[in-house]
Amino acid sequence: MSTFSGLNTALSALKAQRRGLELTGQNIANANTVGYSRQRLDTTAVGGAVPAMWATQTPFDGGVNVLGTSRMRDAYLETRAQTEHGQQALLTGRSEVLFDIESTFEEPSDTGLQARLTELWGGFTDVADSPSDPAARNQLLVRAQIVATTLNTMSTGFAARYEGQRFALNDTVTDVNTASAQLADLNDKVVKGTAAGLDVNELMDQRDLVVVRLAELVGATSTRDPNGAVNVSVGGAALVTGSTARTLVTAGSATLAGQAGDPVSVRFADDNSVVAGPGGEAGALVESLNGTLPSYSAQMDGVAAMLANSVNAVQQGGYTTSGTPGGPLFSGTTAGSIKVAITNPEDIAASSDPTLAFDGGNADKLAELGRKHGGVDETYAMVVARIGVEANTAAQLADTQDAITEQVDYARLSVAGVNVDEELTAMLTYQRSYQAASRIMTAVDEMLDTLINRMGN
Amino acid sequence: MSMRVTEQSMSARVRTGLQNNQGRLEKLREQMASGKQVAKPSDSPTGAAHALRLRGDIGAKERYVRSATDGAARLSTAEGALGSASTLLNRARDLVLQGMSSPAVGDPAAREAIAGELDGLRDALLSVANTTYLGRPVFGGTTSNEAAFDASGAYTGDNGEVQRRIADNVQVRVDVSADAFGTGASQLFGVLDSIKANLRTNPSAVAADLDRLDLGIKSVNSELTAVGTRYSQLTAASDAAGAQSAQLSADLSEIEDIDLMKAIIDLQGQSVGYEAALGATAKIVTPSLLDFLR
What is the tens place of the pLDDT at every residue in A388-414? 999 999 999 999 999 999 999 988 888
Question: In terms of pLDDT, which residue wins out, A86 or B287?
Answer: A86
Q: Specify which residues B133 forms β-bridges with.
A: B136
Q: Is the pLDDT of residue B246 over 90?
A: yes
Q: Cβ separation of A359 and B142 shorter than 8 Å?
A: yes
Set of chain B residues whose Cβ sits within 8 Å of the Cβ of A307: none
Whether the model pTM is above 0.90? no
DSSP chain B: -PPPP-HHHHHHHHHHHHHHHHHHHHHHHHHHHH-BS-SSGGG-HHHHHHHHHHHHHHHHHHHHHHHHHHHHHHHHHHHHHHHHHHHHHHHHHHHHHHHHSTTGGG-HHHHHHHHHHHHHHHHHHHHHHT-EETTEETTSTT--SS-SB-TTS-B-S-S---EEEEETTEEEE-S--GGGG--GGG-HHHHHHHHHHHHHH-GGGHHHHHHHHHHHHHHHHHHHHHHHHHHHHHHHHHHHHHHHHHHHHHHHHHHHB--HHHHHHHHHHHHHHHHHHHHHHHHHHS--GGGT--
How many percent of chain A have pLDDT more than 70?
96
Burial of A125 (0-12, 13-18, 19+ CB in 10 A): buried
Rounded distance between C-alpha atoms, residue A247 and residue A175, angstroms: 11
Which candidate in A392, A406, A418, A429 is best for mutational testing of the B interface (most B CBs within 10 A)?
A: A392
Nearest to A419 among B5, B44, B58 (CB): B5
Q: What is the mean pLDDT of residues A433-444?
A: 93
Q: Cβ separation of B44 and A358 shorter than 8 Å?
A: no
Q: Is the pLDDT of residue A1 over 60?
A: no
Rounded distance between C-alpha atoms, residue A370 and residue A121, angstroms: 6
Please tell me if residue A122 touches chain B, with a CB cutoff of 8 Å.
Answer: yes
Please tell me if residue B20 touches chain A, with a CB cutoff of 8 Å.
Answer: no
Set of chain B residues whose Cβ sits within 8 Å of the Cβ of A351: 142
CA A456 to chain centre: 83
The three-class DSSP label of residue A291 is: helix
Q: Is the pLDDT of residue A233 over 90?
A: yes
For residue A140, what pLDDT band results from cuts at 50, 70 and 90? very high
Nearest-CA residue of chain A relative to B5? A414
Q: Cβ separation of A421 and B6 shorter than 8 Å?
A: no
How many percent of chain A have pLDDT more than 90?
71
What is the tens place of the pLDDT at every residue in A55-110? 666 555 678 988 888 888 888 998 899 999 999 999 999 999 999 999 999 888 88
Question: In terms of pLDDT, which residue wins out, B9 or A250?
Answer: A250
Looking at residue A50, its pLDDT comes to 64
Q: Give yes or no for a cis peptide into A263 (omega within 30° of 0).
A: no
Please tell me if residue A367 touches chain B, with a CB cutoff of 8 Å.
Answer: yes
Q: Cβ separation of A353 and B67 shorter than 8 Å?
A: no
Looking at residue A8, its pLDDT comes to 87
Looking at residue A24, its pLDDT comes to 94
Q: Cβ separation of B144 and A415 shorter than 8 Å?
A: no
The three-class DSSP label of residue A331 is: strand
For residue B89, what pLDDT band results from cuts at 50, 70 and 90? very high
Nearest-CA residue of chain A relative to B70? A129
Q: How far is B256 from chain A (nearest CA, A)?
A: 8
Looking at residue B286, its pLDDT comes to 64
Looking at residue B8, its pLDDT comes to 80
For residue B104, what pLDDT band results from cuts at 50, 70 and 90? confident
Please tell me if residue B79 touches chain A, with a CB cutoff of 8 Å.
Answer: no
Q: What is the mean pLDDT of residues A365-375?
A: 90
Lowest mean pLDDT among A182-191, A213-222, B205-214: B205-214
Burial of B265 (0-12, 13-18, 19+ CB in 10 A): exposed
Q: Cβ separation of A114 and B66 shorter than 8 Å?
A: no
Looking at residue A59, its pLDDT comes to 53
Q: Cβ separation of B165 and A128 shorter than 8 Å?
A: yes
How many percent of chain B have pLDDT more than 70?
98
Nearest to A122 among B7, B45, B63 (CB): B63
Interface of A with B in 330-359 (CB under 8 A): 351, 353, 355-359
Q: Cβ separation of B16 and A406 shorter than 8 Å?
A: yes
Set of chain B residues whose Cβ sits within 8 Å of the Cβ of A108: 38, 41, 48, 51-52, 55, 256
For residue A5, what pLDDT band results from cuts at 50, 70 and 90? confident
What is the tens place of the pLDDT at every residue in B199-225? 888 888 888 888 999 988 999 999 999
Q: How far is A448 from chain B (nearest CA, A)?
A: 36
Looking at residue A57, its pLDDT comes to 60
Lowest mean pLDDT among A166-175, A188-197, B34-43: B34-43
Q: What is the mean pLDDT of residues A211-239?
A: 92
- Which residues have CB under 8 Å from A420's CB, separation 6+? A28, A31, B7, B288, B289, B290
Interface of A with B in 242-281 (CB under 8 A): none
Q: Cβ separation of A421 and B9 shorter than 8 Å?
A: no
Q: Cβ separation of A385 and B9 shorter than 8 Å?
A: no
Q: Cβ separation of B6 and A417 shorter than 8 Å?
A: yes
Q: Is the pLDDT of residue B31 over 90?
A: no
Please tell me if residue B63 touches chain A, with a CB cutoff of 8 Å.
Answer: yes
Nearest-CA residue of chain B relative to A113? B52
What is the tens place of the pLDDT at every residue in A112-131? 999 999 999 999 999 999 89
Please tell me if residue A413 touches chain B, with a CB cutoff of 8 Å.
Answer: yes
Average pLDDT, chain A: 91
Nearest-CA residue of chain B relative to A364? B165
Looking at residue B285, its pLDDT comes to 66
Nearest-CA residue of chain A relative to B15? A406
Q: Is the pLDDT of residue A428 over 80?
A: yes
Q: Is the pLDDT of residue B1 over 60?
A: no
Q: Cβ separation of B41 and A406 shorter than 8 Å?
A: no
Q: Cβ separation of A117 and B56 shorter than 8 Å?
A: yes
